Structure 1
């Protein structure tokens, strides 16, 4: 009660927002100053989320594609400059690469059997393998603990330490791998012309589809609806789901074979690189071509960042394009060349302004300002997650795993109501009438089948042939015996037909009684 009375006296004595207690006034003033300093610091250091990404800006007549990586490294902060590196691996190339969904780990695979998993930010090597056979593709699964490798004959699953866990014998001669994280499905395609879905959580082969279009040249998934896009040698891009044995759609994307393709994050646009030296942008919503570009040589790989930048690898060059989905561009955003080497794969690192490039002589990490999404959802994907958070996200992903049948072109259709007009819908009375009509039609079909196919012997039976041979005016013992057999046969057929039609036969009591005297 004493303390309460003390604060009441302070409040009653406040004049012009001040209290009689000097110590209380100084503490309140200190808190107000700290709050004002925090607001100024947030405004000065841009702690609040920004709507626009930080892209390169040129002054005057200067072009952004003329900026070299050395110049960019000199003008960026130390943290970003440390992410620019080169891995010189000339022995086991050419290489391919893949990043985890949170962009924390890097997986590389050499054509001659060199496979390594690296925490590229810390420069820590998790595992390194020399398989002594051809490696066509590598792919991380739901996190950095497991990865798949498409080797010479089969697909193998390894863990983070490099231990072989599984050999998938169903996936034969595969050159392309992809993973659907929300369905836990590993997809493979290659020289056999089959697209296969394998559930890694239950180790079951969900489905396999024969494309009937020869070896598959390239394969990427649509992040929005999990539909697989396959590129073929006749210039077509086919869209597949595990529940359909035929393509959901076919797009004649290029005139020559499809070399590579990519789909942006919201699933609206697709970029296709063809062997006819074309780079075409398609609107998947209405399957129409938006823009077309020409490359000096055929492109080997394309990729799309979270902010919509397009990377194209052709020959020893890597070209990055900006705002291609809005209007046709006259010049690229950035350009980089790796001398005396061939670009194999380009992949943007999630949540980072980094582009990973694999080529004949190793791996390169390029700084591309504005390519990464800075405002990420840590509940969905956390680049700084701990081991405990990783385990919880894995359990949560398994509990929320989606069924393969839910993969459709428009995932918003699932769970929606019927949007047809009220007069187009069937009322309960109309539904009942339709059921009665269907049942009546089924009964009529059954009666018709009975009339068309009676269960009786044909007219050309052996007894009938023998009876026709007998003379009509001559009655012999054999003819009478044949006649009685035919009569009994006719009665049996009649009884069988009556029993099938549900006709009950009345018993003759007198004949049954006198039959014992016969």
Structure 2
């Protein structure tokens, strides 16, 4: 056990005998302490943190390492990170972290080389913007010279396409298992028949309108010949003769 006090002293106690084993002097009243998984001891006073190694075995002449934060910013808390060689420091101006070699337990990985490389690639790709990823080698290293308005329009179009696909997937999930295959097929056939009927109706209307227009044109072309046609009285005289 380690205790600190306002007398700028740090004591190491043996709880089996309830007696002080080692006595250290710090340069100021210690404020916070912490012990890592590997037994390294961190002690803070003022804006300084000291890390002691093998402090419980025998009295050490000097600390393993020391670190200072910004001047005038007293360190309030310190905490080692499990399975990592990091020490977190909380002070008046925020948070800082330092590397303390050998403070955490080794975190062995039992993955093979190929899965580990693949996981590393996925971690790196997740940090990149999707728009910066391309499989086209010709685009690698080039600069997108499109204006800001065009890029914004492309982004909106991609977002709208993604939303439409998402709605389609949600609709499929909602209707999954609620309708039988026969009903679904019958509905699709009915919709297809309605489309064919509408197209046939439109074609028939187009053909009818075309025929009517052709008849009107023929009638207009033959209208001037009506003046040369024999009159009814003349036709009757010819018939009498």
TM-score of the aligned structures, taking structure 2 as reference length: 0.43
By relative contact order (CA 8 Å, sep 6+), the higher-ranking structure is 1
More helix by share: 2
Larger Rg: 1 or 2?
2
TM-score of the aligned structures, taking structure 1 as reference length: 0.20
